[in-house]
Structure 1
C-alpha cells in the first residue's frame, strides 16, 4: 500500500515533466485527455514553466511566421521548421477582422496588432490559444514638447536614460532579448534595458559593402542578416551578448538569384528561409540548394509579417500585469513592444 501511495504521488510530477517538453499544439490537443490534464495544462504556473523550458533550450523556437493578407484582414501561419509547401489560417480576434491591420511586434507568444480606425484599441493576441486583450492606444498631444506626442497622464513618465544623436535612423521593428529592447541603427545596435531603465549602444560587426540589414534572433542570439553587393546573403551572429569580439559568421554567405530576395531566418537545421519578389516564400537547404517554396499574398514588411514563438502564456503570466491599474498595464505592455 505504501509503495502504491508513493507511485500515485509521483505520477503527476512525472506527467508534468514530460508535458513540459511537448510543443504547444500537442498540449492544446491533450487538454481533452482527462480533467487532470486539462487542469494542469490550463494552469498559469505550468504555462510559465513550459515557456521557460523552451526558452532555455539551445534551439531557435522563434520560427513561426505569421503574415497578414494584403487585401483583407486574414492571418495565416507557417511553421518554418516543417515543410513550407502549405500554410494554415488563424482566427483573428473578432474586433479586428474587418479592418485594415498592421503588426507592431511579437513577444513571448503574443502579437500586438493595430487597426487603422480612429479611436480603436490595440489588440494583444496569443495566436496559439486565441486569447486576446484590448489595449487603449496612447492619445496624441500636438502641443507636447516630446516628438512622440503622447498625452501625459499618471501612467507615463519621462525617463532619463541617456542621449542619442539627433535624427538617428533606426529600424521600425524592435527585438526583445536579454531583458532589453533592441533597434538596428547606422551607429550600432541601440538597446534599452527595461528593468534598469538604461540606454546603451552595442558595436556592429564589419558591415562594409552590405545593405538591406535586418536585426533578428537566431537561436536566442542577436543576429544581423544582409545582402552583399553581388546579391549574396550573409549573416552575423553575436554569440555572447554585448561582446563585440563574439560576432561570428556561422554560415558565411548563401547564393541567391537575380530576383529581389529578403532574408527571414535560419531554421534549427541550418535551412535558409526568405521572401522572393514579394510573392513567394522560399526555403534553401544548408547547402544553398532550393528545397521548398510557397506562393503568398503579402508584402514583405515588418508591419505585415512577424516571426513569433508559440506559448500557452496568459496576459498576466507573460507580462506581469497583475495588481496594476489599467493605465499602468498599458504602459508596461507598450514598453515591451515598442
Structure 2
C-alpha cells in the first residue's frame, strides 16, 4: 500500500507547534508509514531548528508536486505569513490568523484529494479571536469549512476513547444544549467510526449528567430521563450496543479495564479529565463526522515552555500514526 500524504498544520507559531513537528519528523518511522507535508511557514520551522538541532533540512515548496517525501528533508508548503522573529509565548493576532490560514489551506487540499488526512499542531484560541476568527477551536473550523453538520470530538489514549456530546461551552450552556437527538447522533458517530476501524460490535458506554447518573431522579432535574435515555433506546433499537446512562465517576475506570470500547461524555471536562490523567503525551484528538481524517495533539500551545526546546513530541507522533491508521481504513 502506498504511503498516505499527511498534511501537518503548524498551529500557532508562538507556541510549541513548530518544535514538536520538527522533533516528530526526525523519527524515520514517520517517513516509513506516511508522506508528511508541513503546512505553515518555513522560516518558523527553521527558527525551531536553531534551538532543537534535529539535523533535518527544511525545504520550502509552493506546490505538493515539488515534494519528494524523503527522510531527512522536511517539506513545508510555505504560506510565508509571519515574520521570523514573532515572540514566543505571547498572544498575537498575526500568529492566530496564520494558524487559521494553515488549517484553511489544509482543508482545501484535503477536499481536493491532494492530501489524505490532516494532523494539527495546537492553536491558541485567544490569538484566533484577536485575528477575528471567532471559533471555539479546530473542530468548529473544520466543521464549518466542510459544511459538516453532525460531528464530535474524540479523545483517544491507550485503553480509553471518549467522544463528546458538547465541548467548548460553559457547563450551564452544555446542559441546555444536550438533547436526545444530539446524544443519539454522537452515539451513532461513535458506533460508525469504531465499526470502520475494525470493531465488530462496538461497546458504547453513555455517561449521565448528574452524580450517580441522577440516581432515578434523586439528583438533578431528570436530565437523564429526558435527554439521554430516549437516545440510548433509539440507538439500541437500531442494533447499536450502547448502555447507560452510567455514573461518570466509575465509567472511565471500567472502560480502561476493558468493559467498553468508547465512552460518550456529556460535556468537556467530563471527558477530557480522565484522558488527560493518563498523560498529555499519549492523547490524540480525532474529529468524527468529517469527509476526511483529522487528528491532533491533545495539548495546547504551551506558551510557558515555547522556544525552550523541551516540548514533548510524543502526542504529535501518535497523532500522525493514528491519522495513517484511520486513513488506511477510510474513516
With the shorter chain as reference, the TM-score category is: under 0.3
The structure number with the bigger radius of gyration is: 1
More strand by share: 1
Bigger proportion of residues as helix = 2
> TM-score normalised to the size of structure 1?
0.25
Compute the TM-score of the two structures, normalised by the length of structure 2. 0.26
- Higher relative CO (Cα under 8 Å, sequence separation at least 6) belongs to 2
